[in-house]
Amino acid sequence: MEILDGKKVSNQIKEEIAAQVAQMKANGEKVPHLAAILVGNDGASLTYVGSKVRSCERIGFESTLVQMPNTTSEIELLKKIKELNENDDIDGFIVQLPLPPQIDEQKVLLAVHPDKDVDGFHPMNFGKMALDMSTFIPATPFGILELLDRYQVETQGKHTVVIGRSHIVGRPMSILMGRKGFPGNSTVTLTHSRTKNISQITTQADIIISALGVPGFLKAEMVKDDVVIIDVGITRVPDETKAKGYYITGDVDFENVSKKASYITPVPGGVGPMTIAMLLKNTLLARERHRSRA
Ligand code: NAP
């Protein structure tokens, strides 16, 4: 069994991007600028956005954090998005999800200009991804592709089972694994909460990408020998013995499933750090495209 070490690979990617940014600076060029909008003060969202901003600083990007109160109206948020769309200094930006209930998430995703949509959530970018056109691939699926690529995990002709059909992970992942090329050329089954006899499907899988958010969901008896496991799940489980009052766990019973797997991602240290690295990669791409349009 080999660990797909997202922490190590994401650090390599960040070093590669940092070297490109240093070269940009040496050439007197503008460096990429990522902005993030955070509405409210959800603990997990604060942590995610904080580490995105810190990563920008470490690799030499400019970053801007726009914090808005939990009571922000949809109109106020859309106004802020318009400002960022029109701000020529900003190459790309994200709106951290989830949003408070008074705000329609779909309206927000549609308001982000596709050229600045480094999360790849805008329907135009999602459509381009589905059509194999050059675009911003959502950071978590992009990170999974990169992990499979860097470890040269065979995907062609394999049966990939995706658990979860969210718009940000499961659905795009199912499209990407089925597309022509590497990583891809898989035969894909997309499963969700209405899937019957899911064990029957997972035991036939060569690759399982689990993104449902249920700790310990995938058990050893649900997988076959030599399976490749990508655990996207991140759940905070309350635990008073931990300094933070919780620990982080994935969807997979790591201890037992890892004994049967050929490759497996740990949680933490697997897909999570890759997501941030690929957001940075998308921002670099946004900067390059912005420059070529100017
Ligand atoms: P989500 O919106 O939370 O949706 C969960 C999906 O799992 C839904 O499609 C749901 O089916 C399905 N599901 C729920 N219970 C199920 C069951 N018992 N059997 C089969 N399918 C089931 O999904 P998400 O936003 O992709 O998040 C999933 C997990 O990934 C969470 O733990 C989240 O924190 C984590 N995540 C991690 C990263 C990262 O960077 N590592 C990024 C994003 C998300 P229905 O559609 O039928 O409801």
Ligand 1 lined by 166 (C-beta under 6 Å): yes
Give the distance (Å) from ligand 1 centre to CA of residue 193.
10
To test the ligand 1 pocket, which listed residue (144, 145, 201, 234) has its Cβ within 8 A of the most ligand atoms? 234
Torsion sign over Cα 40, 46, 48, 50: positive
Q: What is the pLDDT of residue 294?
A: 81
User: Within 10 Å of residue 35's Cβ, how many Cβ atoms?
Assistant: 25
Ligand 1 lined by 46 (C-beta under 6 Å): no
Give the distance (Å) from ligand 1 centre to CA of residue 97.
14
3-state secondary structure string across the chain: CEECCHHHHHHHHHHHHHHHHHHHHHCCCCCCEEEEEEECCCHHHHHHHHHHHHHHHHHCCEEEEEEECCCCCHHHHHHHHHHHHHCCCCCEEEECCCCCCCCCHHHHHHHCCHHHECCCCCHHHHHHHHCCCCCCCCHHHHHHHHHHHHCCCCCCCCEEEEECCCCCCHHHHHHHHHCCCCCCCCEEEEECCCCCCHHHHHCCCCEEEECCCCCCCECHHHCCCCCEEEECCCEEEECCCCCCCEEEECCECHHHHCCCCCEECCCCCCHHHHHHHHHHHHHHHHHHHHHHHC
Give the distance (Å) from ligand 1 centre to CA of residue 198.
15
To test the ligand 1 pocket, which listed residue (166, 202, 231) has its Cβ within 8 A of the most ligand atoms? 166
Ligand 1 lined by 173 (C-beta under 6 Å): no
Q: How confident is the model at residue 12 (pLDDT cuts 50, 70, 90)?
A: very high
How far is it, in rounded angstroms, from Cα 1 to Cα 269?
16
Contact 118, 282 (CB under 8 A): yes
Ligand 1 lined by 235 (C-beta under 6 Å): yes
Enter the tokens of residue 290. Answer: 């912005």
Q: Of residues 52, 116, 158, 281, which has the active-site annotation?
A: 52
Q: What is the pLDDT of residues 80-97, one digit of tens each?
A: 999 999 999 999 999 999
Ligand 1 lined by 63 (C-beta under 6 Å): no
What's the pTM value of the predicted model, to 2 decimals? 0.97
Q: Is 106 a catalytic residue?
A: no
How far is it, in rounded angstroms, from Cα 228 to Cα 258?
9
Q: What is the pLDDT of residues 161-201, one digit of tens each?
A: 999 999 999 999 999 999 999 999 999 999 999 999 999 99
Ligand 1 lined by 163 (C-beta under 6 Å): yes
Enter the tokens of residue 23. Answer: 């070269």
Q: What is the pLDDT of residues 237-283, one digit of tens each?
A: 999 999 999 999 999 999 999 999 999 999 999 999 999 999 999 99
How far is it, in rounded angstroms, from Cα 272 to Cα 234?
8
Q: What is the pLDDT of residue 282?
A: 98
Contact 251, 208 (CB under 8 A): no
Q: Is 52 a catalytic residue?
A: yes
In angstroms and rounded to an integer, the radius of gyration of the C-alpha atoms of the chain is 19
Q: What is the pLDDT of residues 109-152, one digit of tens each?
A: 999 999 999 999 999 999 999 999 999 999 999 999 999 999 99
